[in-house]
Amino acid sequence: MREKLIIITSVAILSIALIVFLQKSDGAVRNAPTPGNTIVVLGDSLTVGIGDTDGDGWVPLVEAQLGRKITRIATPGETTAGGLARLDEVRALKPDTVIVFLGGNDALRRIPVADTFAHLQTIITTLQEEGILVVLVGVRGSFFGDRYEQEFKTLAEDTRAALVLNVLKDIFNNPDRMSPDRIHPNTEGYILIAKRITETLKPLISI
């Protein structure tokens, strides 16, 4: 009798593990497709558009390409902890899609990587549990180090969030795409950011 119970318990545990594995490995972005009627971006100065002398950053460019309005909840210098603290502000807008563009200031302030990605995970899962599609924008520059890139990949895989990996590639190390402050992109840099975000988001919304 005891051996039978052990076998039944083992089979049940294996079945649950298999279900979880299949859910994580099916490659589907959670809560996609989405109408994209209410899109919010949670970000920092890169979302504000600082450094763009010819426009207002990447947000209006994505709006034009998607034909959708994007509401910015962004503050220069914002960290992932700050973004987490503003999550109720995001949820109050009842979005169906949220773009999370945070992490750069954590790196600049040398906030522990584990803390940064714990904050991001909480932001993502809280939104996803309300049926919201989350697009995670990965940041990495010459001063971030490779660990950020891998952490963004792992987080996106674990949460099944859509991922724009290394959105600043060929921007931070290219003076032609940087503003004079050498911290923020210029117009050309923001155009490239917009292109990358649009390419990830457009297939996930019903247009």
Q: Is residue 173 part of a domain?
A: yes
Give the residue ranges of DSSP H helices in 55-101. 58-66, 80-85, 87-91
Q: Is residue 44 part of a domain?
A: yes
CATH of the domain at 65: 3.40.50.1110
Q: Is residue 196 part of a domain?
A: yes
| pLDDT computed for residue 51 by the predictor | 97
Q: Is residue 110 part of a domain?
A: yes
Which of helix, strand or coil describes residue 164?
strand
| pLDDT computed for residue 9 by the predictor | 40
Q: Is residue 87 part of a domain?
A: yes
| pLDDT computed for residue 140 by the predictor | 79
Q: Is residue 6 part of a domain?
A: no
Q: Give the pTM.
A: 0.86
Q: Is residue 167 part of a domain?
A: yes
Q: Which two tokens stand for residue 179?
A: 């503003």
Specify whether the CB–CB gap between 65 and 207 falls below 8 A. Answer: no
How many other C-beta atoms are found inside a 10 Å radius of the C-beta of residue 28? 9
Number of domains in the chain: 1
Could you give the percent of the chain with pLDDT greater than 90? 81
Mean pLDDT of all residues in 86-91: 98
Q: What range defines the domain where residue 76 resides?
A: 31-204
Q: Is residue 123 part of a domain?
A: yes
What are the tens digits of pLDDT across the range 150-186? 999 999 999 999 999 999 999 988 999 999 999 999 9
| pLDDT computed for residue 207 by the predictor | 66
Kindly write down the DSSP assignment for every residue of 13-52, as one continuous string: HHHHHHHHHHHHHS-PPTT-SB--SSEEEEESHHHHTTT-
Residues 115 and 154: their CA atoms lie apart, in Å, by: 15
Q: Is the pLDDT of residue 102 over 60?
A: yes
Binned at pLDDT 50, 70 and 90, residue 141 comes out as low
What are the tens digits of pLDDT across the range 23-53? 444 579 999 999 999 999 999 999 999 999 9
| pLDDT computed for residue 21 by the predictor | 38
| pLDDT computed for residue 15 by the predictor | 38
